[in-house]
């Protein structure tokens, strides 16, 4: 069975009789490894209670646009950033019409506008409503904007009619959700990704490091695996669960990371240097704990190897992607770094903003390559990672 591990699914439930199936859909999504949160319209609450879906999902159910419990009362923004997928099941004729018009008159339609996540709809309505030209036009509008549909199925309906309009079974919808992430964009490609910080020892118990959580690199590894790549993750010390279907190689120091990456290069098509590698290390490592002494201490440092530059200059040089974590002049510094190190692509992000910097679940980046650039607006790091992987696949395809 395909999986949704490390993916956040936001399930929207609108007001149709098929809402009773949403309970089973939550279970099916969770069986595939997804984290699930639920938004219910007022109409949906007439068919199934929020308490049922709260108990099944393990998370509070969201029903109100202006939520006093949400951070700054902006629950729709928080939910939109959290989601890797917005799945609406059932999607009634009314809900589809409001989405097609870009309405934002309840929490569910507002989140649909406020998220960068893909939209998957499972329509459910009377067979004549499904065939009506207005519904056909609304579906076409949403499809042109990138929304995807699963179903509807045909059969006997609650009203007694028979025909198309039944919501697909939860197992089929959950399978469709998993297939959205299995893109095949990098099928068969071998990709190496570095992630997390490095640690450079001062003595047996102290080290130089930084605040990198590794979340962006791990999200990239998940996105690469979902895209069909044979993925190896070379990770510094982090507190993260490694993605499924990814080979994890753990290292501590910059030199260990370099040696591991160089050993992998002969079988590497794409290299993404996402790790926050310490630029310097102590010239010597003390064998015993350094005792407290004078008020001021001089600590000689030496430069660490430049991993991404070494990979780019290698005779086995793959398509090489770097990261530029900057606090000012972000894009200009990143472009200069790309040119200086001979990279094919670079991802620039502003780490001066604590809401998208180290340890944050969100990010906002500008991706630069030789002939263009793309700005990925703020979203969770899984969504950003999938955008980056798609851009890499597009550039490799255009060059072949």
**What's the farthest any 2 CA atoms get from each other in the chain?**
87
Last residue of a domain, one of 158, 181, 204: 181
Does a structural domain hold residue 134?
yes
Statement to judge: residues 264 and 394 lie in one domain:
yes
Statement to judge: residues 105 and 31 lie in one domain:
yes
φ, ψ at 174 (rounded to 5°): -60, -40
Range of lowest pLDDT (77-91, 125-139, 151-165, 191-205): 151-165
Q: How many residues does the chain have?
A: 400
Statement to judge: residues 29 and 153 lie in one domain:
yes
Six-digit token string for 269: 């098509």
> Per-residue pLDDT averaged across 265-289, rounded?
92
Statement to judge: residues 27 and 143 lie in one domain:
yes
Question: Could you give the angle at which helices 75-82 and 107-114 cross, rounded to 10 degrees?
Answer: 50
Statement to judge: residues 167 and 303 lie in one domain:
no
User: What's 46's DSSP letter?
Assistant: G
Q: Give yes or no for residue 368 having a pLDDT over 90.
A: yes
Q: What burial class does residue 243 get, using C-beta atoms within 10 Å of its C-beta: 0-12 exposed, 13-18 middle, 19+ buried?
A: buried
Q: Give yes or no for residue 1 having a pLDDT over 50.
A: no
Statement to judge: residues 99 and 122 lie in one domain:
yes
Statement to judge: residues 87 and 230 lie in one domain:
no
> Per-residue pLDDT averaged across 305-322, rounded?
92
- The residues carrying an active-site annotation are 159
Mean pLDDT, all residues of the chain: 90
Six-digit token string for 156: 């006997």
User: What's 117's DSSP letter?
Assistant: S
Statement to judge: residues 260 and 161 lie in one domain:
no
pLDDT digits (tens, 9 = 90+) for 191-232: 999 999 999 999 899 999 988 899 999 999 999 998 989 999
Statement to judge: residues 221 and 259 lie in one domain:
yes
Last residue of a domain, one of 181, 205, 239: 181
Does a structural domain hold residue 3?
no
pTM metric for this prediction: 0.75
- The CATH number given to whatever domain includes residue 125 is 3.40.50.1950
Q: How many domains does the structure of the chain reveal?
A: 2
Per-residue confidence (pLDDT) for residue 214, from 0 to 100: 93
Percent of the chain exceeding pLDDT 90 equals: 66
Does a structural domain hold residue 2?
no
Does a structural domain hold residue 272?
yes
Q: Please give the Cα distance from 325 to 308 (Å, whole number).
A: 14
Instruction: Name 298's Cβ contacts closer than 8 Å, sequence gap at least 6.
Output: none
Backbone CA torsion sign across 298, 300, 303, 304:
negative
Per-residue confidence (pLDDT) for residue 193, from 0 to 100: 98
- The CATH number given to whatever domain includes residue 323 is 3.40.50.10300
Query: Do the Cβ atoms of 126 and 165 come closer than 8 Å?
Result: yes
Per-residue confidence (pLDDT) for residue 75, from 0 to 100: 65
Q: Please give the Cα distance from 185 to 229 (Å, whole number).
A: 8
Per-residue confidence (pLDDT) for residue 77, from 0 to 100: 81
Does a structural domain hold residue 35?
yes
Buried/exposed code over 92-104 (b: 16+ C-beta within 10 A; e: otherwise): bbebbbbbbeeeb
Statement to judge: residues 234 and 350 lie in one domain:
yes
Last residue of a domain, one of 181, 209, 235: 181
Does a structural domain hold residue 258?
yes
What is the extent of the structural domain holding 58?
Answer: 8-181
């Amino acid at each position: 069975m395909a999986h949704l591990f490390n993916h956040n699914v936001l399930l929207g439930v609108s007001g149709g009789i098929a809402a009773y199936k949403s309970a089973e859909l939550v279970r099916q999504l969770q069986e595939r490894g997804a984290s699930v949160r639920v938004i219910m319209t007022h109409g949906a609450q007439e068919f199934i209670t929020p308490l049922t879906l709260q108990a099944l999902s393990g998370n509070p159910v969201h029903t109100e646009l202006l939520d006093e419990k949400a951070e700054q009362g902006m629950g729709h923004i928080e939910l939109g950033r959290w989601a890797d997928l917005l799945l609406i099941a059932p999607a009634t004729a009314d809900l589809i019409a409001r989405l097609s018009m870009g309405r934002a008159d309840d929490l569910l339609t507002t989140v649909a506008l406020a998220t960068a996540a893909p939209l998957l709809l499972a329509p459910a309505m009377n067979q004549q409503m499904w065939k009506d030209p207005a519904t056909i036009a609304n579906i076409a509008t949403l499809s042109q904007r990138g929304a995807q549909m699963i179903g509807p199925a045909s059969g006997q309906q609650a009203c007694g009619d028979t025909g198309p309009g039944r919501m697909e079974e939860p197992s089929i919808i959950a399978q469709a959700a998993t297939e959205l992430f299995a893109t095949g964009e990098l099928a068969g490609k071998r990709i190496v990704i570095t992630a997390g910080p490095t640690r450079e020892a001062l003595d047996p118990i102290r080290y130089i490091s930084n605040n990198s959580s590794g979340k962006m690199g791990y999200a990239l590894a998940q996105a690469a695996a979902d895209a069909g790549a044979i993925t190896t993750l070379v990770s510094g010390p982090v507190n993260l669960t490694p993605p499924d279907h990814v080979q994890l190689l753990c290292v501590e120091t910059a030199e260990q990371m370099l040696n591991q990456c160089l050993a992998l290069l002969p079988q590497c098509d794409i290299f993404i240097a996402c790790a926050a590698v310490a630029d310097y290390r102590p010239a010597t490592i003390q064998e015993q704990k350094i005792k407290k002494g004078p008020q001021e201490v001089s600590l000689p440092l030496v430069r660490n190897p430049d991993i991404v530059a070494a990979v780019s200059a290698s005779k086995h040089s793959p398509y090489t992607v770097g990261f530029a974590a900057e606090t000012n002049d972000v894009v200009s510094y990143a472009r200069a770094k790309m040119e200086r190190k001979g990279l094919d692509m670079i991802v620039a992000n502003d780490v001066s903003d604590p809401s998208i910097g180290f340890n944050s679940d969100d990010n906002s980046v500008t991706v630069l390559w030789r002939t263009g650039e793309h700005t990925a607006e703020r979203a969770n790091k899984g969504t950003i990672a999938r955008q980056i992987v798609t851009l890499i696949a597009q550039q490799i395809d255009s060059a072949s």
